[in-house]
């Protein structure tokens, strides 16, 4: 049996089949219907004199899309990188399914079921599309060269299923357009079938058709019962897809609301400081956060 081929097939089929299943029925995510699958408590992070995050609270639940919004430098990518284990917080806790993760690192993030699309995409320019998609996965350690054909087939099937158009999975990422690279990064994040998916500006370089496609992918991930965090400057996209919106300003959480309780003007007001945010001293209380 071909390990690569089987895995690719399972992932691809899983994506298709699970989209028509009710969410949360795979038993792999969440520790109860109302328990956050992923949580930040009182997280702080500074880079030298720059305070990137202060006392940040965040809760993400299975089967929902949480959007993180805020101006440039508000701390959104720092949150994503802390959850992905790229940065260590100076203070506070990360909890996955209720359990504190003391030293999150990229490997631990993977083991915790966290998959990430970084704002800078994290693709290796000189490697081809398929190799980028499978890079860092445990399967690659078991003889990527012996299983290249299956890898290329798997990458091609996954991209086709996601309606991502690239000239070939055998060309180096350096030869792709910005939008194609972004689509490959999104495809790579969902290929591993993790229950928690973080996407930092997944549509920044995309055209209308591709943005709509990523929106569909995100909605599908939610329907599969996954917890999805998207960072986006595109408020229309956020209002169309997110269940809850967390507004950040200057490293602090200024408000968390169900999407239907937020309008565009209030979000813009919170992220620009024109609307007073929720009392930060209350930020740890559950009442700040209203689930749909």
- Which residues are within 8 A (CB) of 281 and not within 5 positions of it... i.e. 6 or more apart? none
d(CA 189, CA 133): 8
Shortest spacing between CB 217 and ligand ATP, in angstroms: 21
Question: Does 119 participate in binding Mg ion (rule CB under 5 A)?
Answer: yes
Query: Of these partners, ligand ATP, Mg ion, none, which one is at the site of residue 52 (CB under 5 to 8 Å by kind)?
Result: ligand ATP
Per-residue contact track with Mg ion, 75 to 94, x per CB under 5 A?
--x-----------------
Question: Does 28 participate in binding Mg ion (rule CB under 5 A)?
Answer: no
Closer residue to Mg ion in complex, CB, 18/52? 52
| Helix or strand holding residue 83 (H, E) | helix 76-83
Shortest spacing between CB 160 and ligand ATP, in angstroms: 31
Question: Does 202 participate in binding ligand ATP (rule CB under 6 A)?
Answer: no
Sheet of strand 91-96, all strands in order from the earlier edge strand to the far edge: 50-60, 38-47, 91-96, 99-100
Question: Does 140 participate in binding Mg ion (rule CB under 5 A)?
Answer: no
d(CA 70, CA 250): 8
Shortest spacing between CB 203 and ligand ATP, in angstroms: 13
Q: What backbone phi and psi angles, to 5 degrees, belong to 267?
A: -60, -50
Closer residue to Mg ion in complex, CB, 19/119? 119
Question: Does 47 participate in binding ligand ATP (rule CB under 6 A)?
Answer: yes
d(CA 282, CA 4): 49
Query: Of these partners, Mg ion, ligand ATP, none, which one is at the site of residue 75 (CB under 5 to 8 Å by kind)?
Result: ligand ATP
User: Which token pair is 80?
Assistant: 């994503």
CB 79, CB 92: distance < 8 Å: no
Choose which of 18, 29, 37, 52 interacts with ligand ATP (CB under 6 A).
Answer: 52
Q: Which of 238, 218, 202 is nearest to 120 (CA)?
A: 202
Residues that bind ligand ATP (CB under 6 A): 47, 50, 52, 70, 72-78, 119
């Amino acid at each position: 049996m071909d390990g690569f081929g089987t895995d690719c097939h399972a992932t691809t089929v899983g994506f298709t089949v699970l989209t028509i299943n009710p969410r949360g029925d795979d038993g792999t995510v969440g520790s109860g219907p109302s328990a956050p699958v992923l949580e930040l408590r009182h997280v702080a992070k500074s880079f030298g004199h720059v305070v990137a995050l202060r006392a940040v609270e965040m809760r993400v639940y299975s089967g929902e899309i949480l959007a993180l919004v805020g101006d440039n430098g508000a701390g959104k990518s720092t949150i994503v990188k802390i959850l992905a284990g790229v940065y260590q917080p100076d203070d506070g806790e990360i909890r996955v399914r209720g359990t504190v993760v003391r030293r999150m690192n990229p490997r631990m993030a993977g083991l915790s079921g966290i998959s990430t699309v970084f704002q800078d995409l994290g693709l290796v320019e000189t490697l081809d599309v398929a190799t980028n998609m499978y890079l860092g996965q445990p399967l690659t350690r078991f003889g990527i060269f012996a299983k290249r054909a299956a890898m290329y087939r798997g990458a091609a099937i996954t991209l086709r299923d996601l309606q991502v158009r690239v000239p070939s999975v055998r060309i180096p990422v350096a030869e792709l357009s910005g939008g194609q690279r972004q689509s490959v990064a999104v495809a790579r994040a969902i290929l591993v079938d993790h229950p928690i998916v973080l996407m930092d500006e997944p549509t920044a370089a995309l055209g209308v058709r591709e943005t709509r496609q990523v929106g569909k992918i995100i909605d599908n991930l939610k329907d599969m019962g996954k917890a999805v965090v998207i960072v986006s400057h595109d408020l229309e996209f956020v209002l169309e897809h997110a269940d809850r919106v967390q507004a950040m300003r200057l490293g602090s959480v200024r408000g968390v609301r169900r999407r239907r309780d937020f309008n565009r003007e209030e979000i813009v007001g919170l992220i620009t400081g024109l609307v007073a945010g929720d009392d930060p001293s209350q930020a740890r209380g559950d009442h700040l956060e209203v689930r749909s």
